[in-house]
Amino acid sequence: MLRNVKDYHYPGSLDEALSLDNRESRSFFIAGGTALALSDSSRPVELIDVSRLGLNDLELDRENGNLKIGASTRIQRVVESGAARSVLGGFLSESLEEIGSYPIRNAGTLGGSLVRPFPWSDIIPILSVLETEVFYYHEGNEKTRELSRLYESDFRSTLNSSIIEGVSISLPEEGNTAAKFMKFSRSEFDVASLNLACRLTVEGGYISKAKLSIGARPMTGERIPALEDNLVGKKLTEELAKKSGKEAGESAELRGDEKLGQEYREQLVKKMTEEAITEIMKEVANES
């Protein structure tokens, strides 16, 4: 908990919010406050509330093929929105529903989960397998960056001095694309001990696009490009699912921690990858 909040600001514009942040004082942007509430510090701090900056749109733009979600949109609102439900047969809303408990989803925002994600974040693998662009405001300019490049080390200081405005998710072609999210945790409300998201596009029985991301390794979610490349061009079969599971367990960078040993994580990655691919195979077969 931040025990020494000296001032709480409600800026009326993005520029005002950035100028408040650029001063000498130690400051943080705050949205739902659920992650900040976990900070433990008695150093003086100022909070800059971003929840009144008009960053809470949720808009499905079929013409341009994307879903735009403002940074201050509560996770639960995304879960319940019909627009989000239309993404990949409910993949987005159903996976986001796996996050924490209702009160956390009802207070926590999408933007708040992106700047300094917890290593066990579910949102990172979920959004990583969709085509997600992040909109951010930096030094008076609106810019975009692909989600998978958001955490590159040379971007860290830019990200820390930016306001996330929202994300834009490309709507995948329906019918031949399906995705699955899987989470292993010790109890319903516990955070993930391992999570995994996979998305495949299948044309004529062959995989034309593949994305697989694993989180809570225990490090933050990361895609596995070598495995994705190996999936592309292959016929989607149960044998392929099995083989890919084995490959994922061997190629993902995994470690042990107080929750799970490394070997246990390897076994889980193997099983979860195989299962995700098998389920996608069934879904695509049913749709076509």
Ligand X SMILES: Cc1cc2nc3c(=O)[nH]c(=O)nc-3n(C[C@H](O)[C@H](O)[C@H](O)COP(=O)(O)OP(=O)(O)OC[C@H]3O[C@@H](n4cnc5c(N)ncnc54)[C@H](O)[C@@H]3O)c2cc1C
Binding site for ligand X (CB under 6 A): 28-36, 38, 50, 71, 75, 99-100, 104, 107-109, 111-113, 115-116, 118, 121-123, 163-164, 191
Only one residue has tokens 């405005």, namely 165
Residue 38 or 285 having the CB closest to ligand X: 38
Q: Between 262-287 and 238-251, two packed helices, what is the crossing angle to 10 degrees?
A: 150
Choose between 75 and 254: whose C-beta lies nearer to ligand X: 75
Rg over CA atoms, the chain? 20
**Cβ 168 to ligand X shortest distance, Å:** 15
Contacts of 214 (CB under 8 A, 6+ apart): 125, 194, 195, 196, 221, 222, 224, 248, 252, 254, 269
Shortest Å distance, C-beta 50 to ligand X? 5
Is the Cβ of residue 52 or residue 235 nearer to ligand X in the bound state?
A: 52
Tell me the C-alpha distance between 138 and 52, whole Å.
18
Min CB(19)–ligand X separation in Å = 15
Nearest CA to 93 among 56, 57, 111, 67? 67
* Closer CB to ligand X, 30 or 277, in the complex: 30
| Minimum separation from the CB atom of position 141 to ligand X (A) | 15
Q: Smallest distance, Å, CB 94 to ligand X?
A: 14
Looking at beta carbons, which residue is closest to ligand X? 112
> At its nearest, how many Å lie between ligand X and the CB of residue 109?
3
Q: How far is the CB of 101 from ligand X (least distance, A)?
A: 7
